[in-house]
Structure formats: C-alpha cells, structure tokens
C-alpha cells in the first residue's frame, strides 16, 4: 500500500462523501486506502458513504476525542508507507495525492508536504507561510510602526534554501511517511483542536525539509464550527479555543519566555484598551462606558486565558478543550 488517507469525521458525513468522491476520481498512479475516524458516531449516518465506498475502514472513536487523538487512531491503523491527513471539508483535483507522494519519494531530504489551499473557484486562500508568521499574529499591539518593527525584530522573517520550503504545514492536507510520523509519536494528544499542525510541523522540521509545491493544491470549503469566533475586531480576532491551543503550542515548542511574553502583552493591553476608550468617550462628551463591548469581550477573554495559565506553564496533560461557557464568541452570539 502506497498511501493511507486519514479523515476525522465529526457530523460531516455530507462533506466527507463529496471529499471521498473527489479522492477516488482525482487519484491515479498509486495504491491507497481510506480510513475514517468518527468522533461522533451516529448509527446509519454514514450509510451513503459505506454503501458507495464499502472498502473504507470506518473507526468509531467512541467519543469526541479531538483532532490529534483521532488522527493518531488513523495513523496506527494505516497500512500505507505514507499517510495523508485530509480534512473532510476538502475536495481534490489534478491528482494532488500522487504529486505529493512523488515529491516525497523523489527527495530523501523531504520529510513532509502540504497542499496549497484554494476556494471553490480555485482562488488562493490566505495561510501562514512560516511558524513565525503565526507567532507574530498573536501579539496585539497598536497600529504604529514602532511596535510592528519591535515584533519583527523579535520574530524575524524566516527564509529557506528553496522557494518551496517552509516550516509550517496546514493540517487540512498534511502528507508524510508513516515511519517518520511514528518516530515522532504522531500528533500531540494534548491538543484538542487548532495549533496541533503547527506543533507537529515544528517537530517534523527537525527531521528534514517541509514544503509546498505548486502542483499540490486542494479546495478547502471553510465552514463554521462551534469554536470559531462570531464577534470580530482587531483586538478580538481569535476565539478562546484558538488562543489556548496556540499558547500551548508556543509553550511546548519555544519555551517559557515566549509563552510569558504573550501573557504580558495581553495583561498590559487590557487596561490600556479600557483607558483609551474611556478617555475617547469623555473627550467626545459621551458616557464613559459608551461602545465598550470590545473592551468587555477582551477583558473576559484575558480572564479565561489566565484560568489556563498554570496548566500550560507546567505542561499538564490535556486535551486542552475549553468549556462551553468559556467560548465567549458563541455565548455572546446566543
């Protein structure tokens, strides 16, 4: 078996069916198997899938195990020499799996390959090219050149020997050898959702090169889920689950100081954000608390993040899944 394709399903049977149809229609030149790990098994919900694709291995995780644990279940069941972790909300075209397999087989220094994300019209979707790009975005500073230059000095732009090379692969399409994945003990199971691909990319990059290639693209049908934020502003641009997961990744991959710097940033910003708004309201002769929803949300989020501070600092075992009442964006939305 050349490639095992691992999917994590959580009530996404309709998306998964379309994805599987694209996999079988768009993959030639290799032997492959498909493994679905179901994090929310409902009897008969997958009937159309197993009838149309009876050869698929369907594994009931037994509970909502999260992305990392489910991927590791699929990894252990894989018979292929290479494993592709593929989101259910994707569609393949132009024999992308074969192209990824061919690149890794052709270059002994190449450890893993990602796919360029495009939308349904095959227009490029934004993504973080390097791990420092991700880290820079988690600092919240005033939109003033001095502060941006400071962050750039702290986290400089990363460059590599070839244009294709990177150190950050998107988990929606991540292709690597089973041998190397097992060497690293697979995905880190402390992560429930988000940032697990950045953490795995960090460890994979220690084994060799990671890369994106122009002939490996996939359609990503970005859709809402319970952990995405519904309220958006520059300060409140990430949901709590995303922030908790990324703080865990930064602590694991870059150490205590990098972790503490973000908490210092947020702790200083929260009162400054309030003081700025109150002064602005008073100067414009409005009530001191006029239009302070953003400030309230951010203060709540910082408070919740501090509930995870010591757990992350001392790297207590996860998975790090936030509580429903901590999911501020969805609480506000409801």
Residue 225 is predicted with a pLDDT of: 53
H/E segment holding residue 3: strand 3-9
Residue 144 is predicted with a pLDDT of: 87
Q: Where in the chain is the domain with CATH 3.90.550.10?
A: 3-220
β-bridge partners, 57:
35
- Calculate the alpha carbon distances from 110 to 197, 209, 321 in Å: 17, 5, 33
Is the distance from CB of 2 to CB of 80 less than 8 angstroms?
Answer: yes
Q: How far apart are CA 176 and CA 114, in angstroms?
A: 9
Kindly compute the dihedral angle of the four CA atoms of residues 64, 66, 72, 78, in this order, to the nearest 10 degrees.
Answer: 60
Max distance between CA atoms of the chain, in angstroms, equals: 71
Q: How far apart are CA 136 and CA 123, in angstroms?
A: 25
Residue 234 is predicted with a pLDDT of: 81
Residue 142 is predicted with a pLDDT of: 84
Q: How far apart are CA 46 and CA 297, in angstroms?
A: 39
Q: Which residues of the chain have pLDDT under 70?
A: 224-231, 330-334
Cα angle: 183, vertex 185, 186; to 5 degrees:
105
Of 160, 135, 151, 153, give the one whose Cα is nearest residue 255. Answer: 135
SS3 state of residue 6:
strand
| For residue 310, cis peptide bond before it (omega within 30 degrees of 0) | no
Q: How far apart are CA 224 and CA 242, in angstroms?
A: 14
Q: Token pair for residue 12?
A: 């996404």
Q: What is the pLDDT of residues 99-141, one digit of tens each?
A: 999 999 999 999 999 999 999 999 999 999 999 999 999 999 8
Q: How would you classify residue 291: left for phi > 0, otherwise alpha for psi between -120 and 50, otherwise beta?
A: left
CB atoms within 10 A of CB 127: 17
CATH entry, 3-220, from 2.60.120.10, 3.40.50.1400, 3.30.1700.10, 3.90.550.10: 3.90.550.10
Residue 224 is predicted with a pLDDT of: 54
Residue holding tokens 């929260």? 270
């Amino acid at each position: 078996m050349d490639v095992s394709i691992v999917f994590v399903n959580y009530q996404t049977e309709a998306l998964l069916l379309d994805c599987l149809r694209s996999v079988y229609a768009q993959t030639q030149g290799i032997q492959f198997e498909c493994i679905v790990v179901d994090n929310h098994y409902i009897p008969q919900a997958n009937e159309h899938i197993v009838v149309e694709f009876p050869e698929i291995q369907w594994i009931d995780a037994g509970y909502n195990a999260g992305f990392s644990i489910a991927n590791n279940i699929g990894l252990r069941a894989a018979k292929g020499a290479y494993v592709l972790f593929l989101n259910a909300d994707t569609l393949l075209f132009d024999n992308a799996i074969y192209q990824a397999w061919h690149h890794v087989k052709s270059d002994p220094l190449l450890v893993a390959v990602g796919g360029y994300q495009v939308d349904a019209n095959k227009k490029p979707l934004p993504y973080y090219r390097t791990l420092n790009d991700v880290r820079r975005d988690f600092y919240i500073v005033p939109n003033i050149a001095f502060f941006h230059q400071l962050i750039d000095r702290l986290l400089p732009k990363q460059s590599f020997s070839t244009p294709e090379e990177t150190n950050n692969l998107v988990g929606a399409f991540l292709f690597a050898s089973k041998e190397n994945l097992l060497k690293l003990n697979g995905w880190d199971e402390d992560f429930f959702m988000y940032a697990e691909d950045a953490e795995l990319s960090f460890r994979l990059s220690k084994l060799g090169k990671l890369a994106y290639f122009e002939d490996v693209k996939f359609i990503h049908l970005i859709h809402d889920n319970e952990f995405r934020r519904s309220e958006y502003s520059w300060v409140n641009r990430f949901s709590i689950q995303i922030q908790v997961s990324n703080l865990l990744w930064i602590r694991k991959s870059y150490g205590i100081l990098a972790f503490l710097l973000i908490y210092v940033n947020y702790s200083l910003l929260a009162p400054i954000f309030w003081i700025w708004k109150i002064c602005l309201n008073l100067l414009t002769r409005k009530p001191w608390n006029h239009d302070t929803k953003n400030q309230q949300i951010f203060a709540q989020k910082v408070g919740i993040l501090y509930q995870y501070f010591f757990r992350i600092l001392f790297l207590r075992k996860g998975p790090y899944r936030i509580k429903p009442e901590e999911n501020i964006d969805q609480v506000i939305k409801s």
